[in-house]
Amino acid sequence: MCGIVGVISKAPVNQLIYDALLLLQHRGQDAAGIVTMQGTRCFMHKARGMVRDVFRTRNMRALPGSVGLGQVRYPTAGNAYSEEEAQPFYVNAPFGLVLVHNGNLTNAQALKAELYDVDRRHINTGSDTEVLINVLAHELELAVRDLPLTPDAVFGAVAAVHRRVRGSYAVVALIAGHGLLAFRDPYGIRPLCFGTGGEGDVMVASESVALEGTGHRLVRDVAPGEALFVDLDGQVHARQCAEVPTLNPCMFEYVYLARPDSVLDGISVYQARLNLGETLAQRVISTMPPSQIDVVIPIPESSRPSAMQLALKIGKPYREGFVKNRYVGRTFIMPGQSARRRSVRQKLNAIGMEFRGRNVLLVDDSIVRGTTSKEIVQMAREAGARRVYMASAAPPVRFPNIYGIDMPTREELVAHGRSVEEIREFIGADALVYQDVDAMKRVVGALNPALDGFEASCFDGRYVAGGFGDGEQAALQAQQRLQFEDDEGEGRSRLALQGSGAAA
Predicted confidence (pLDDT) per residue in 285-322, tens digit: 999 999 999 999 999 989 999 999 999 999 999 999 99
Alpha-carbon span 35 to 20, nearest angstrom? 14
Task: Give the pLDDT confidence score for residue 76 in this predicted structure.
Answer: 59
pLDDT tens digit string along 349-378? 999 999 999 999 999 999 999 999 999 999
Task: Give the pLDDT confidence score for residue 476 in this predicted structure.
Answer: 56
Distance (Å) of CA 31 to CA 49, 155, 190, 332, 345: 5, 30, 19, 16, 24
pLDDT tens digit string along 48-90? 999 999 999 999 999 999 999 999 998 655 555 567 788 999 9
Alpha-carbon span 64 to 42, nearest angstrom? 9
Q: Are 445 and 439 in contact (CB under 8 A)?
A: no
Task: Give the pLDDT confidence score for residue 493 in this predicted structure.
Answer: 34
Burial of 88 (0-12, 13-18, 19+ CB in 10 A): buried
Alpha-carbon span 5 to 496, nearest angstrom? 37
Which amino acid, residue 396?
Answer: P
pLDDT at position 341 over 80: no
Q: Is 458 a catalytic residue?
A: no
- This prediction has a pTM of 0.90
At 346, is the secondary structure helix, strand, or coil?
A: helix
Q: Report the C-alpha dihedral over residues 432, 438, 441, 442, rounded to 10 degrees.
A: -110
Q: Are 455 and 103 in contact (CB under 8 A)?
A: no
Q: Are 200 and 67 in contact (CB under 8 A)?
A: no
Q: Are 115 and 139 in contact (CB under 8 A)?
A: no
* Residue 48 CA to its chain's centroid (Å): 17
Largest CA distance in the chain: 77
Q: Are 80 and 336 in contact (CB under 8 A)?
A: yes
pLDDT tens digit string along 472-499? 555 555 555 554 444 444 433 332 323 3
Instruction: Kindly report the average pLDDT of the chain as a whole number.
Output: 89
CA R_g for the chain: 23
Alpha-carbon span 494 to 345, nearest angstrom? 19
